[in-house]
Chains A and B, each alone.
Chain A
Amino acid sequence: MKTKKIVGLLFCSLCLMFALNEAFAQRPDRPNREQRNQPTTKQDDQQSEKPAAPEKETEKPKADEKKLTAVDGGEIHTATGEVIRRGIVLIEDGKIKAVGQNVEVPDGAEIIDATGKVVSPGFVAINMSGLAVRGNVTGNNKLADALDPFDRNLKYALGVGITSGCIELARGGGGGRRGRSEEMPQFPKEMIFELSTPRNGVDDSDVNFGDTVIDGAHISSETKGDSSEGDNSDTNNPREVTLQELLGHNLREGEPEHRFMGIDPEIGEFVTESQLDYGMENTELCPCCNLPIMPTEPIEDAPPTREQPRRHAAIKLSYGNLEDMLVKEDVFYSPSPGALSGALNRHNWRRAIKSAREELKKSQNPDENSNRSNQPQAQNQTRTRSGSGQVGESPGANQARQTAAAAASRARPSNNPLFPLLKKEVSLRVTANTASEVRDMVALAEELDYDLVVEGGVEAWLAVSELSRSGAQVVYTPRRRRNPQVGQENESGSSIESTQIFESQGVPFAITPLSNSISMGGLAGRDLTSLPLEAAFAVRGGASDLAALQSITLVPAKMMGLDDRIGSIEVGKDADLLIMNGDPLDYRSYVETAIVSGKICYQREIDRVFPVYQRE
């Protein structure tokens, strides 16, 4: 009986919805108020799929237990492709409880009148800097403690509708490196330059290389303790020397070891170009010089770049509410610019990914025989076996490296920052502007199997088919331009139609303005407060209004993996809403009220960040 009822109800509501749609098409400004009081409710597409209708009935009586807020009477742009005229958004406990025209508002609910206004999801800025954080988040200073809910810049950002976004944490100076060393991916130790000269009769106190600290583990002592097969480990004590040390500098405490790129331990000598791992790029080798013949570009002589992932965190601009501010840390894996360019860097990147994947596999399927404490040793032995056949490496050196690695892995068990990337919990966010860069990044992502977010993408329109095929997303700035190269006008340079091309090819794009901070002294219209304006330029480039709105709401939310919480007005999501006096992308529109997590955080009349006169 019940199911029949529900089906009937659904059918009824669907019919009604169509009827209503017809009615609205004819009389858009005069919706039928009486419809609200009818028992059958108009439902969203998403809701009608779930059996949500009976739930609503039961929720009504206990409404006064929690604080309810209703945004009433606005034109709701949900950012999912739907516009609800004269709708109601019911907020409970910071979450959206119901959306629609016929939402029953319980007695006692606080009602925010939005009649004649536009209700939009709060904008999500994929790039923000210089707000919400006080001081540097470096070293031991955690982001959670550095957040400033009373930062004035929050008001400016809220004033244009930004309710959440992604901040890049300052990298700072020397102090920061210390903190980040723990978060660096554990590369295979190929970059460590090793001297395996025997040290018979050499006084240790003179040249104290034996005590070189790597990851906090004293190599010499560890070697003595853990050596099982290295019978001459004392005499053949390896000296692990970093480049810095060779140059006469000492490591500072806690600093990550410097990697001397180009040394492969498995080969034991400098890597020549023919030995580099080119992955998919590797086509064939030149018969004369044994060098690979590259299909697209020659091997750039890019300098070895130290892998320093940039750190991003998703925060909410909940002015005055510290509790709601921090949403998620490390929302991207973001290598520093240039870290994936050049053959050598890419070689290292492939190696890092591969070893991390192996490590991940191991941690997911641990050996039945060995418990946790034995794992590093087991790793040790497998590595020894694989490495024993190699030329030019003394057993002592091998062993020392393994003990260092073992000590390191013991210190941070399965804390590899690449794991979330490999599990596809986060995306790789990397800057790529030229078409070839974009293609390279897409190819790498496809080869190594991770999600990709291309930042910049000035020429990404040229690689749109690759982007579309791989499912990559683009962070784009419509007003950023680049002249084409002479003679290659059709294959280089920026395009005004980029956004239209992205949309038509199904490449999700987020919009970021030309500058990411709140600037009070620079050129107006370029800083973070121009985010909706920049999205309007996406419309100018041919994208639809919906795609442009999604480019500052749902798409950036999805990029950060937070589309279950922010980015649209849907039931169950956080109540981050804007009440605007016009279309969200119209430059004449002002945000009247910004609601973050159900709380009013900005009001135009009170905060006086933007003009308060009423436009006629």
Chain B
Amino acid sequence: MTRLCQKKGQTLTGEAVNAWKTNSTHKNSTHKNSTQKGLIPFLTECSSVRCPVSRSLASMVMALMALTLLTPFAHAQTIAFTNATVETLTDQGRLEDATILIRGEKIIAVGTDVTVPADAKVVSLKGQTVLPGIIDPYLVFQRATQSSEVTETVTFGGRSFQIPTTRGFNAGTFDTISQHFYPQTFDFSSAIRSGITTANLVSDGRGLSGYANMVTAPNAQMLFQPSGLLFARVTNETAALDVIRTPLTPRPNRGGAGGGSREGASGQAATDARNSTNAATNTSNSNGRPNAAADSTQARWDAVREGKQTLIVNANNAATVAHLLMFLDKNPQVKVALVVTGPNVYESLDRIRGSNITLILKPELATEPFSSRVINVPKMAADRDVPFAFSLTVGTSQLQNNLDEPLYPLAALMKSGLSRQQALAALTVKPAEILGIEKQYGSIESEKYANLIIFTGDPLVNGSRLKQVIVKGSTIYEN
């Protein structure tokens, strides 16, 4: 057993080192690497078992693993990407023939005059372009539908019946993403192949989002921020609009709601309370604090109302945008990231100008409704100084068709007038700002996480393919 492990470890180290040295495109190496990392918690669990034999065995394995696998991290292996074209998305702008130094998970230096340490593994990226990893601010996370049906007891005419009901996942429930996060149930590979390294996971309804790094291993690192932002999908119906309006409208006292009045507002307040208690019961299973979630949900809404936190709203038609703007006129301090399609928002851009709204758009040219006129809504937004971010996944069920050239739609937008800087910022810096993680993500500069995507050429020129995706210093995808 020990021998086997030793052998395995040795071969692995060899392979890993080889991979770093030559920067070869062995997919196996990274794959195995990640599975081994995933084993560590399992082994530590084993070590707590009281059987002396297995304990000693486990500790031996542990020691070996630590020696073999964790060496690059323990020694903080420095990697230098040299001769690269770097879109830093900072004040430095675009750098030619630049060097990026990575140690561990972070970038330690970027620039054209960076001295490469002697012990660094040098990878030449001549002719290739490095971008910060794409941050998707609105990645709809498909929840696995529960197959087991829930029965409900209904009293009807003095008798009680068991009625099977499927608890609708999207029927107005408050989804806390972190409670439904099972990486196995979602295929992130297409997102990775599009260059998305970080995503804000949301559901199709409303709830509390979670931030995830697209690391392939099923470990805790993936969901690095389990309580992200409040999000809601809204239509122009009273009940749907009240999802936002009710918690954002200051209520002086909630005591009056019990008077049996059937006003829409108090009715919505009731459902909202129900939802928050719903969330509370969810969490009470895990940490035993029944009202914590409800309180925190309320606190979050308060924070949104005071403008301390961004609210993500998916408005599914133009009328909803109008209704939302009318409401936000009265609450100008509320920060909103508005997920919307171009045709639904292009007529409202003049009103959005100067407000606290950031758009989340799909990077594509759109056509005017009932017309064949092509409109470049991101450019229209840029012309009016309306901030916007791109989401590659919004409005698409799959990302299959743009795998090798994920930024091609961006090139089309730039052909019709959008500036390169704005286009790239909308993929990286702006989403990071929406999510409030701009200090660690979104651009290539020192002390930020080494989330990088490498293209064979200029990513906005037809024919440049996505070659490599690096998340927190480790390669997760190579093409």
Question: Which chain A residues have a beta carbon within 8 Å of chain B's beta carbons?
Answer: 134-135, 140-142, 145-152, 182, 205, 208, 216, 250, 320, 322-323, 411, 608
How many Å lie between the Cα of A145 and that of B235 in the bound state?
A: 9
| Contact A150–B239 (Cβ < 8 Å) | no
Q: Indicate whether A142 sits within 8 Å of B317 (C-beta atoms), given known contacts A134-B236, A320-B347.
A: no
B239/A140 in contact, CB under 8 A: yes
Query: Bound state CA distance, A150 and B351, in angstroms?
Result: 14
Contact with A along B301-344 (1 / 0, CB 8 A): 00000000000000001110011011000000000000000000
B370 within 8 A of A: yes
**How far is B317's CA from A135's CA once the two chains are assembled, in angstroms?**
12
- Is B164 on the interface with A (CB-CB < 8 A)? no
In-complex Cβ contact of A322 among B322, B369, B371 (8 A) = B322
Cβ–Cβ < 8 Å partners of B264 in chain A: 140, 142
| Chain B 143-171: CB-based contact to A (< 8 A → 1; otherwise 0) | 00000000000000110000000000000
A148 with B267, Cβ < 8 A, contacts A134-B319, A250-B157, A411-B260 known: no
Q: Which residue of A lies closest to B351 (CB)?
A: A320
Q: Out of A134, A142, A152, which one reaches B238, CB within 8 Å?
A: A142
26 residue pairs A–B, Cβ–Cβ below 8 Å? A134-B319, A135-B235, A135-B237, A140-B238, A140-B239, A140-B264, A141-B239, A142-B264, A145-B236, A145-B238, A145-B241, A145-B323, A146-B236, A147-B236, A148-B318, A149-B318, A150-B319, A182-B262, A208-B157, A216-B260, A250-B157, A320-B322, A320-B348, A322-B322, A322-B323, A608-B371
Cα(A151)–Cα(B236), bound, Å: 13
Q: Which residues of A contact B157 (CB under 8 A)?
A: 208, 250
A149-B319, A150-B319 as given contacts; A322 in contact with B239, CB under 8 Å: no
CA gap between A323 and B323 in the complex, in Å: 9
Contacts of B369 in A (CB 8 A): 152
In the complex, A477→B77 CA distance in Å?
A: 86
- B322 in contact with A149 (CB, 8 Å): yes
With the chains together, A290 CA to B317 CA distance in Å? 64
Residues of chain B whose beta carbon lies under 8 Å from any beta carbon of chain A: 157-158, 235-239, 241, 260, 262, 264, 267, 317-319, 322-323, 325-326, 347-348, 369-371
List of A residues within 8 angstroms of B347 by Cβ: 150, 320
- With CB as the reference atom, state the residue of chain B lying closest to A322: B322
Q: In angstroms, how far is the closest chain A Cβ from the Cβ of B283?
A: 30
Q: Which of A150, A152, A250 contacts B322 (CB 8 A)?
A: A150
In the assembled complex, which residues on chain A have CB atoms less than 8 Å from the CB atom of B238? 140-142, 145-146
Hey, which chain B residues are within 8 Å of A140, CB to CB?
A: 238-239, 264, 267
Alpha-carbon distance between A140 and B242 when the two chains are bound, in angstroms: 11
> Contacts A135-B236, A140-B238, A208-B158 hold; do A148 and B319 have CB atoms under 8 A apart?
yes
CA distance A145 to B246 in the complex (A): 14
Q: How far is the CA of A149 from the CA of B236 in the complex (A)?
A: 11
The 5 closest A-B pairs by CB, nearest first: A148-B319, A150-B318, A322-B322, A145-B238, A142-B238
**B349 → chain A, closest Cβ, in Å?**
11
In the complex, A526→B320 CA distance in Å? 31
Query: Are B326 and A322 interface neighbours, CB within 8 A?
Result: yes
Set of chain B residues within 8 Å of A142, measured between Cβ atoms: 238, 264
Cα A148 to Cα B319 in complex, Å, equals: 5
Bound complex: CA A205 to CA B264 (Å):
35
A135–B370 Cα gap in the complex (Å)? 20
- A141 proximity list for chain B (CB < 8 A): 237-239
Expressed in whole angstroms, the Cα–Cα distance for A149 and B157 within the complex equals 46
Q: Which residues of A contact B267 (CB under 8 A)?
A: 140
CA–CA, A584 to B236, complex, Å? 35
- Does the CB pair A148–B236 fall under 8 Å? yes
Residues of A within 8 A of B370 (CB): 152
Nearest to B321 among chain A residues (CB) is A150
Q: Report B-chain residues with C-beta under 8 Å of the C-beta of A322.
A: 319, 322-323, 325-326
Minimum CB–CB distance from A421 to chain B (whole Å) comes to: 23
Q: Closest residue of chain A to B325, judged by CB? A: A322
A588 to chain B, nearest CB (A): 25
How many whole Å from B345's CB to the nearest CB in chain A? 10
Q: How many angstroms between the C-alpha atoms of A162 and B264 in the bound complex? A: 32
Of A140, A151, A250, A608, the most chain B CB neighbours within 10 A belong to A140
Q: Which residues of B contact A134 (CB under 8 A)?
A: 236, 317, 319
The residue of chain B having its C-beta at the shortest distance from the C-beta of A148 within the complex is: B319
Question: A35 CA to B91 CA in the complex, in Å?
Answer: 64
State the Cβ distance, A326 to closest chain B Cβ, in Å: 11
**Of all chain A residues, which has the CB nearest B268?**
A140
Q: How far is the CB of B384 from chain A (nearest CB, A)?
A: 15
Chain A residues with Cβ below 8 Å from B260 are 216, 411
* Residues of B contacting A149 in the complex (Cβ-Cβ under 8 angstroms): 318-319, 322
How many angstroms from the CA of A208 to the CA of B369 in the assembled complex?
57
In the assembled complex, the Cα of A141 lies from the Cα of B347 at a distance in Å of: 25
Is B262 a contact of A205 with CB atoms below 8 Å?
no
The answer to whether B158 and A205 touch across the interface, beta carbons within 8 angstroms, is yes
Q: Name the distance in Å between B20's Cβ and chain A's nearest Cβ.
A: 55
* Cβ-closest chain B residue relative to A216: B260
